[in-house]
Amino acid sequence: MFRTKTVSAVCVFLMALVAMGGDAIAQKKTKPDAKSKPVMSAVVHVDGDYQIVGKDEVAKLKKKLKQDHKHAVAAHKAAKADAKKNKEKFNMPAPKAQKLKVVNASVEQGKAEALVAQLREKDAKKAASKKRPAKKPPTKKSKAGN
């Protein structure tokens, strides 16, 4: 009897200790850390479109674009060789490498989204102005015979 009371008292004590320790740990995790750095991103321009990628992902993106181009060139060469073998015309142009330009290499995520929206709007305005035909000045018709 003494033994079961002791065991149950120890169990209650341990459960209370675990419950208090769990709260203390939870409180430590919820406090914002003053030294934590914001997530840094990079804004890149790839073939006419702006993207936000992780700062560390820029090199991986460059490598991926290079490999994609390499595979596209290999497929183009194979198709061209196949057309030549079958004595068919081959009019498909060679694939061009995608251009990657880093607009801003180190910017916070929120600012990056605002920058991308601003750049897309700017490009849309440029495209709209190019679509409008230029106004031609009126021409004077020469009077024949006068």
Tens-digit pLDDT profile for residues 5-52? 565 665 556 565 555 665 555 555 555 555 667 778 899 999 889 999
Dump pLDDT digits (tens) for 42-90.
Answer: 999 998 899 999 988 999 999 999 999 999 999 999 999 999 899 889 8
> And the tokens for 24?
């203390």
In the chain, where the domains are located: 37-129
Residue 3 vs residue 47, higher pLDDT: 47
pTM attached to this predicted model: 0.57
Cβ distance 65 to 46 under 8 Å? yes
Tell me what pLDDT residue 121 has: 92
CA distance 49 to 71: 22
Of 120, 64, 70, residue with least CA distance to 94: 70
Max avg pLDDT among 15-19, 63-67, 95-99, 139-143 = 63-67
